[in-house]
Amino acid sequence: MCLNAGRLCCLIFPVCILLLPGCGADNAELTSAHQMPATQSTQATSRPPEDAQQSSTQPEKPQAEKTEAEKTQAGSESSDAGAEDEFAPLAIGALGGRTASENSGAGGTDTDQEQSIQAIIERLRPLQVMLGKWRGTTRKEFDGFKAVDQHEWVWDLTSKPDQPALIMNSDKSPYLRTARLTWLPDKQLFRLDAQDPDGRARAFEGNYTDEVHEVVGSDDKLHKVFRLELNELPPAEAGSGGSEFLQFAFAQQESNRYLLEISQRRGKAAWRRVDTVSTQRDGTSFALSDTDYAERTCIISQGLGTMSITYKGRDYWVCCSGCRAAFEEAPDRWIARAAEMQKKSDGK
């Protein structure tokens, strides 16, 4: 009868399998179990049967036995998780397709470029004493006559915005018909790209042999003087020797006069002076220095303004036709640059 009752419990309450494992045991085994010491009896009753431990730790269903519905649900959850990773919120700095560091780097690049432009202009500023129209006369005679030319130096801030320069155009110079003088920050040298009367392009690089400084002239005024020496670079196709090269030296004598000294050499021989062109300013003379022009300061070069331009009801001064062209092309940019320079100057 006890066995029948146990079978009935197993059908109705499966847990009875765990509770009645010894229902069919001998009376002797039951008696000995009841005669165990109290501590051992407590341990025996508190320890779950081995079948129960295995049942509690065993997974409900093996992974391999998952139904198709469960597999579909698991795949859907995995896709959702991947979608969450893929569409994770962007950092603010990443807007516009850049990370914060990239945006910082891009801004730094723009700043570096602006600083490079200003550094070139700063290096060229002492040379702007040459701005204006000049009349040159050679010492050497050509066909029995000294050559005379009219030329003009102006700023060029538009043809190569990242590489400002002073440019010159001459009508009859026997040496330079066009010239573009700029500063190379990477080499720390001046560069002159020129074209001779035959249309040949020539390139020169060099630096001061006499730094820019001021002296008192015969008129008791301060004048900038310097000597800038530029040596011709050999063409890429030229050999190691046998070619003739030119050297141009701009020797500023005073604000209204400079000399163009022309030397020549073959190969690596010593330079030999072949001619000197004396130039005299034609027209407006520059003031005592590059400061204290008050409202007549060129908004671009900070030199002496020789012409005014009206923009949005206000007059601005520029020193040459080159600065005028640059201002007319981008007035707001140059006004902002001038304001920034003034701000830095006031902060010193």
Domains and CATH numbers, the chain: 127-282 (2.40.128.20), 290-347 (no CATH)
Q: What is the pLDDT of residues 135-185, one digit of tens each?
A: 999 999 999 999 999 999 999 999 999 999 999 999 999 999 999 999 999
Looking at per-residue pLDDT, the higher value among 201 and 22 belongs to 201
DSSP secondary structure of 175-222: S-SEEEEEEETTTTEEEEEEE-TT--EEEEEEEEEEEEEEEE-TTSSE
**How far is the C-alpha of 140 from the C-alpha of 33, rounded, in Å?**
136
pLDDT at 88: 41
Residue found under tokens 């005073």: 254
The token pair that represents 227 in the structure block: 């000597």
What pLDDT, on a 0 to 100 scale, did the predictor assign at position 112? 86
- Cα–Cα nearest to 260, from 273, 245, 276: 276
Residue 274 has pLDDT above 60, yes or no: yes
Closest to 128 (Cα-Cα) out of 332, 271, 298: 298
Are the C-beta atoms of 128 and 301 separated by less than 8 Å?
yes
**What pLDDT does residue 213 have?**
93
Tens of pLDDT, residue by residue over 211-222, are 999 998 877 888
Whether residue 348 is predicted with pLDDT greater than 80 in this model: the reply is no
| CB-based burial label for 323 (10 Å; 0-12, 13-18, 19+) | buried
pLDDT cut 70: percent of the chain above it = 63
The two beta strands, 272-282 and 178-184, are unpaired
Confidence band (pLDDT; 50, 70, 90) for 93? Answer: very low
Is the Cβ–Cβ distance between 202 and 194 less than 8 Å? yes
Over residues 188-194, the mean pLDDT reads 98
Contacts of 244 (CB under 8 A, 6+ apart): 264, 265, 266
pLDDT of residue 195: 96
Q: What is the mean pLDDT of residues 211-240?
A: 83
Asked if residues 316 and 327 have their Cβ atoms less than 8 Å apart, the reply is yes
Average pLDDT over residues 281-295: 58
Q: Are 182 and 167 in contact (CB under 8 A)?
A: no
pLDDT tier, 3 (very low <50, low <70, confident <90, very high otherwise): very low
Q: Is the pLDDT of residue 280 over 80?
A: yes
Question: Angle at which helices 331-347 and 321-329 pack, to 10 degrees?
Answer: 110
Per the listing, tokens 């050497």 go with 140
pLDDT at 234: 87
Q: Match 């304001």 to its residue by tokens.
A: 339
Quick one: pLDDT at residue 204? 97
* pLDDT-wise least confident of 91-95, 282-286, 303-307: 91-95
The neighbouring-strand residues paired with 309 are 316
Instruction: Give the residues across from 167 on adjacent strands.
Output: 154, 180
Task: Find tokens 């800038």 and name the residue.
Answer: 228
Look over the chain and give the mean of its residue pLDDT values, rounded to a whole number. 74
Written as six digits, the tokens of 100 are: 């914060």
In the chain, the percentage of residues whose pLDDT exceeds 90 is 42
Give pLDDT, residue 168. 97
331 — pLDDT class (breaks 50, 70, 90): very high
- The answer to whether residue 40 scores a pLDDT higher than 90 is no
Q: What is the pLDDT of residue 137?
A: 96
Taken as a whole, the chain contains a residue count of 348
pLDDT for residue 206: 98
In 3D, which of 204, 210, 230, 221 has the Cα closest to residue 256? Answer: 221
H/E stretch holding 234:
none
